[in-house]
Amino acid sequence: MSKFKALIADQKDSQFTASIQEIDQSQLPAGEVLVRVAYSSLNYKDGLAVTGKPGVIRKFPMVPGVDFAGMVVESSSAAFHPGDEVVVTGCGTSEIFWGGYAQFERLDSEFIVPLPKGMTLKQSMGIGTAGFTAMQSVLAMEHHGLKPENGEVLVTGAAGGVGSVAVAILAKLGYKVVASTGRAQFHAYLKSLGASEILDRAAVAAPSKRPMDSARWAGAIDSVGGDTLAGLLRSMAINGVVASCGLAGGPAFSTTVFPFILRGVALLGIDSTRVPNAQRREIWSRLMRDLPMGLLDSMIVEAPFDKVFAMGEQILKGQIRGRVVVNVNS
Ligand SMILES: NC(=O)c1ccc[n+]([C@@H]2O[C@H](COP(=O)([O-])OP(=O)(O)OC[C@H]3O[C@@H](n4cnc5c(N)ncnc54)[C@H](OP(=O)(O)O)[C@@H]3O)[C@@H](O)[C@H]2O)c1
């Protein structure tokens, strides 16, 4: 392995470039563990990075791709050995560390977790940062007291990556899941993942003259933000809990304090990047337990390496269904 393929994003004189190039092992940054990458994945953040949008890459040149899974080739860490199958999800990858859009990658062991037993490398990238964030959101809501008997849980952006995995996990755990989507063609898909009802996303985000609407949601996982988050906050039930994890519909939202002071609603922020290794392992073990692998397989589309540019544009337009696994070796 001295030469291999990597997607290199660079910026010179404010001019952004990104292309798949052949590079040498000696160009890889330092790190304890060298991994032969089998698959990466496509997240919203990857769409931003490969299309040159600001907000993700913090130093150039950069190998984008926040996630990767593969086999350890060399390790100076006692935690991993050659031949181990491992998974990495967003941990500064594609921001300050080189990421998974490459056939080899080197990273420190604190960011790496073993592939859960019973899961394939491809399935782990079917989960990727999006699915990891969905599970992290469920755990945060559980820690805040959410239980299936508390009532219905709303998932917004449901046909996307975070949303699809969230629907499948919550349904498996016995929650009554209501999926909000803007794409009518995916109603049957969302029902197949376990949604008991589908709402049009325009209805969730519709403005209201009242500061509070009828109490409905015991919980909500929101990957959309903007008016959607403002709308669902007005309909939270007493002691309802919201996991805010995304901004596919916009970062800014306007609300009042009423959901918080009249209904005791808790708004939990979810950041999947700064998660200590022990907690990462816990999240992966809950994913293995609570995400039906057959349903996960039904969410996955496999894409060859050079498709990430076109699919990166598509994910930013909200046109990707479920999860895209990127085969960096095809
Ligand atoms: N906090 C974290 O650590 C973390 C981790 C992962 C992802 N995220 C964030 O979570 C969001 C979703 O990521 P993803 O990878 O799941 O992306 P994704 O697959 O594109 O899913 C986003 C979904 O949001 C909906 N949507 C898109 N544009 C919209 C708009 N203008 N208005 C309303 N709804 C819209 C669409 O769902 P429907 O077609 O079903 O309506 C789309 O499928 C992104 O903002 C991402 O940055 C955050």
CB distance 288 to 117 below 8 Å = yes
Q: Return the pLDDT at 2.
A: 84
Q: pLDDT tens for residues 265-308? A: 999 999 999 999 999 999 999 999 999 999 999 999 999 999 99
pLDDT at 195 over 80: yes
pLDDT at 159 over 80: yes
Q: Return the pLDDT at 1.
A: 58
Q: Which fold has domain 3-126+273-327?
A: Quinone Oxidoreductase; Chain A, domain 1 (3.90.180)
pLDDT, mean of residues 41-62: 97
Q: Which long-range contacts (CB under 8 A, 24 or more apart) does 19-28 make?
A: 20/101, 20/305, 20/306, 23/102, 25/1, 25/104, 26/2, 28/98, 28/104, 28/105, 28/106
pLDDT > 70 in the chain, percent: 100
Q: Return the pLDDT at 155.
A: 98
Distance CA 74, CA 84 (A): 10
pLDDT at 192 over 70: yes
Is there an atom of ligand 1 within 6 Å of 49 CB?
Answer: no
Task: Considering the chain, tell me which residue range(s) the CATH 3.90.180.10 domain(s) occupy.
Answer: 3-126+273-327
Distance 157 CA to ligand 1 centre (A): 6
Report the nearest-CA residue for atom 34 of ligand 1. 249
Is there an atom of ligand 1 within 6 Å of 171 CB?
Answer: no
The reply to whether CATH 3.20.20.70 applies to domain 130-269 is no
Q: Return the pLDDT at 326.
A: 98
Q: pLDDT tens for residues 121-152? A: 999 999 999 999 999 999 999 999 999 999 99
Distance 27 CA to ligand 1 centre (A): 33
Ligand 1 pocket test, pick from 44, 244, 274 with the greatest ligand atom count within 8 Å of Cβ, gives 44
Q: pLDDT tens for residues 57-78? A: 999 999 999 999 999 999 999 9
Which residues does 311 contact at the CB level (< 8 Å), separation at least 6?
42, 47, 303, 320, 324
Task: Considering the chain, tell me which residue range(s) the CATH 3.40.50.720 domain(s) occupy.
Answer: 130-269
Ligand 1 pocket test, pick from 42, 91, 162 with the greatest ligand atom count within 8 Å of Cβ, gives 162
Is there an atom of ligand 1 within 6 Å of 245 CB?
Answer: yes
Residue the block writes with tokens 């899941």:
177
Consecutive H or E run containing 45: helix 44-50
Q: Return the pLDDT at 253.
A: 97
Ligand 1 pocket test, pick from 43, 50, 89 with the greatest ligand atom count within 8 Å of Cβ, gives 43
CB distance 50 to 73 below 8 Å = no
For 217-286, give the DSSP string.
EEEEEESS-HHHHHHHHHTEEEEEEEEE---TT-S-----SHHHHHS--EEEE--SSS--HHHHHHHHHH
Is there an atom of ligand 1 within 6 Å of 321 CB?
Answer: no
Is there an atom of ligand 1 within 6 Å of 272 CB?
Answer: yes
Distance 195 CA to ligand 1 centre (A): 18
Q: pLDDT tens for residues 2-19? A: 899 999 999 999 999 999
Task: Provide the residue type at 293 as one letter.
Answer: M
